[in-house]
Structure 1
Amino acid sequence: MSPLVFALLAIVCVGAAGLALVPSLLGPSRADKRIKALQGDIQANRRENNAARTRDLRRKSIQETLKSQSELIEKRKKRIPLQDQIFQAGMKIKRNDFIRNQVIVGVVVFIACFLLQVPLLFAAVFGIAAGYLLPKMHLARRRKKFQNQFLDELPNAVEAIVRGVKSGLPINDSMRVVAKEVKEPVKSEFQRVLDQQAVGKSMTEAVQILFDRVPLPEVNFFVVVITVQQQAGGNLSEALGNLARVLRNRKRMKQKVKAMSSEAKASAGIIGSLPFIVAILVTLTTPSYLLPLVQTPIGMFWLGVAAVLMATGAFIMNRMVQFDY
């Protein structure tokens, strides 16, 4: 082969080796693009990994919060101590004073039955039953009334907090506005939350007193939203806005159920009061007709049986017109 061919082959080999081993000879722009693309992929992967890790941590925090609230609700479903019932009714009386009042009511009923010449055994039974049940019924009515008043005003309080947060106020200042502007009993309860924070408790710990005071699902929703936002972050105004709409919808549904069940409640009231009305009318027209019921032992016995049956029927009718919503 001629030297010219060897020289040409050598030039081609050197050029190919240069193009393969030195990418910069292809031009700086192409190499830079490849390097930037590689770096961009690494940064994108890092961002995706960080976002996924953040989502996992947030999800885990929310799950733990919901689990703790569920456990707390399960504890609330158990038998509530007397002092907690008094606290949830908004009453300031102590447990021992309430028991003393029960004893006083029982003694008064016993003396009244004794003066009416009711047999001693039945007077004692009536006194014990009245002393235990009447204060309990009063306490349950006060507790229910307090909870209804709180739920009626809670949506307004939540919406006030939403407006405060959207305007740039911290949640503490928004709650302070609620504690000054809304109606009772929400006003006092939010002030209690602020007082708990003033003594060093965190928002998560302080807001829990609302659920201790009013153990209802609506209040639990509010506590969960505040707790999750404090622990995992998020858009508080949007979450509370959705909560306010849920509370409004539940309130409308409650009023609708109440209206639909009003006829059944009226019927139950008429049926429950009918025996007493008939007894009064018979006594007015024929005074001696019902005297054997209160003057003879067998009459007193059957009168007691009738009272037990009447109480059982009233309880069943009351449960039939109660609805969960």
Structure 2
Amino acid sequence: MTVILLAILAMVAVGAAGFALVPSALGGGRAEQRRKALQVNTRVNRLENDAARNRDQRRKELQRSLKQQSDSLNSKKRVTLPQLLFQAGMTIKPAAFIRNSIIFGAVVTVVLIVVQVPIYLAPVFGVASGYLLPRMWVGRKRKKYQDKFLDELPNAVEAIVRGVKTGLPLNDSIRVVAKDAKEPVRSEFGRVLDQQAFGMTMTEAVGVLLDRVPLPEVNFFVVVITVQQQAGGNLSEALGNLAKVLRNRKKMKQKIKAMSSEAKASAGIIGSLPFVVGILVSITSPTYLAPLFFTTLGNIWLGIGVVMLAAGVFVMSRMVKFDY
């Protein structure tokens, strides 16, 4: 009986040892499974940490580039005449523009002398007209050029996103925009391709676009392209987010324009009242306002009134102008 019990215990011991050791030797033990699971988790955590580190690095580079570009835009508050003509999309040379301004000022002076404005005031108004009015006209063309560019820029960015998602290189996607987009986006992106043809990198070429259209929205586009060229990343996702931001900014701009339209109309009516009243009074009583133009005291008060009106118009224009 004792021998039988010892044999049974020996068999149990051998079976237990085999159950414990054989799966481990075959690589299927729980310890081995836990070790492999731990290695997999460690590898996954390492990949996630590397991805998070890369995202943080790209985010910091994006913030740094955006800050640098914004500082450069803010530092260029004073725009020179060649830059003004270049940003307005005009091909006239600065020398020709100055010549035409001088001619315009001389014509205004002659017209004022013919209508019997005092001889000492006519040159003053002529010089002011020759200097201010052409620059105001160019500034207005520059603003219209930038507005047209911003209206089409979200569509151009979305076209680039679609091209990149289909597998096209960035240059080919920009070439599609330069071929099919509306003006002035078409010509500006064509200028980027021309700069690349002359040997510039993509980063340098889109920098020329920012010089041509110095706007925050264009700055965003340039920063995204620059960071992607330097650090890599998902360009389609970044440009897709940029397109959403541009459309939201466009909606906000239109909303602000609608909300401030009433104030702008009131400012226009108030600013035009002195001229309208003066014309109506001159029609009904031609000699009533004559002392303002033909006497020294009247000229002084007329000048004071013009200065006060200009100050009021300036204040009202600043009140209805919003940054977005």
Normalising by structure 2, we get a TM-score of: 0.84
The offset of 1:148, in angstroms, is 0.4
Number of the residue aligned with 1:283: 282
The offset of 1:160, in angstroms, is 0.8
Code of the residue aligned with 1:178 in structure 2: it is V
The offset of 1:120, in angstroms, is 1.4
Return the alpha-carbon distance in structure 2 between the equivalents of residues 41 and 285 of structure 1: 93
Asked if the contact 2:66/2:220 (under 8 Å) is kept, the reply is: no
Asked if the contact 2:70/2:219 (under 8 Å) is kept, the reply is: no
Runs of 5+ consecutive residues of structure 1 not aligned to the other structure:
1-23
Code of the residue aligned with 1:90 in structure 2: it is G
The offset of 1:151, in angstroms, is 0.4
Number of the residue aligned with 1:148: 147
Cα 1:37–1:94 change in 2 (3 A) is same
Asked if the contact 1:61/1:231 (under 8 Å) is kept, the reply is: no
Code of the residue aligned with 1:322 in structure 2: it is K
Code of the residue aligned with 1:66 in structure 2: it is L
Code of the residue aligned with 1:173 in structure 2: it is D
The offset of 1:65, in angstroms, is 2.5
Code of the residue aligned with 2:312 in structure 1: it is G
Equivalent residues in 2 for 1:117-156 (5 A)?
Answer: 117-156=116-155
Return the alpha-carbon distance in structure 2 between the equivalents of residues 259 and 83 of structure 1: 34
Return the alpha-carbon distance in structure 2 between the equivalents of residues 49 and 236 of structure 1: 21
Return the alpha-carbon distance in structure 1 between the equivalents of residues 53 and 255 of structure 2: 45
Asked if the contact 2:291/2:298 (under 8 Å) is kept, the reply is: yes
Number of the residue aligned with 1:192: 191
Query: For residues 235-276 of structure 1, what are the alpha-carbon distances to aligned partners after superposition, in whole Å with 9 as ceiling and x for unaligned?
Result: 111111111111111111111111111111111111111111
Give identity over the alignment, percent.
65
Code of the residue aligned with 2:78 in structure 1: it is R
Return the alpha-carbon distance in structure 1 between the equivalents of residues 155 and 62 of structure 2: 26
User: How many equivalent pairs are there?
Assistant: 301
Return the alpha-carbon distance in structure 1 between the equivalents of residues 286 and 40 of structure 2: 101
Equivalent residues in 2 for 1:299-310 (5 A)?
Answer: 299-310=298-309
The offset of 1:67, in angstroms, is 3.9
The offset of 1:199, in angstroms, is 0.9
Number of the residue aligned with 1:157: 156
Equivalent residues in 2 for 1:34-183 (5 A)?
Answer: 54=54, 57-59=57-59, 61-76=61-76, 78-183=77-182
Number of the residue aligned with 2:5: none
Return the alpha-carbon distance in structure 2 between the equivalents of residues 204 and 146 of structure 1: 23
Return the alpha-carbon distance in structure 2 between the equivalents of residues 217 and 290 of structure 1: 49
Query: For residues 202-238 of structure 1, what are the alpha-carbon distances to aligned partners after superposition, in whole Å with 9 as ceiling and x for unaligned?
Result: 1111111111111111111111111111111111111
Return the alpha-carbon distance in structure 1 between the equivalents of residues 131 and 286 of structure 2: 33
The offset of 1:189, in angstroms, is 0.1
Q: Which moved more, 1:36-45 or 1:133-142?
A: 36-45
Code of the residue aligned with 2:71 in structure 1: it is E
Query: For residues 172-223 of structure 1, what are the alpha-carbon distances to aligned partners after superposition, in whole Å with 9 as ceiling and x for unaligned?
Result: 1111000011110000000000001111111111111111111111111111
Runs of 5+ consecutive residues of structure 2 not aligned to the other structure:
1-20
The offset of 1:66, in angstroms, is 2.9
The offset of 1:138, in angstroms, is 0.3
Return the alpha-carbon distance in structure 1 between the equivalents of residues 117 and 319 of structure 2: 34
Asked if the contact 2:193/2:205 (under 8 Å) is kept, the reply is: yes
Normalising by structure 1, we get a TM-score of: 0.84
Return the alpha-carbon distance in structure 2 between the equivalents of residues 117 and 238 of structure 1: 67
The offset of 1:49, in angstroms, is 7.3
Return the alpha-carbon distance in structure 1 between the equivalents of residues 284 and 172 of structure 2: 68
Asked if the contact 1:62/1:232 (under 8 Å) is kept, the reply is: no
- RMSD of Structure 2 on Structure 1 (CA): 2.5
Return the alpha-carbon distance in structure 2 between the equivalents of residues 305 and 160 of structure 1: 55
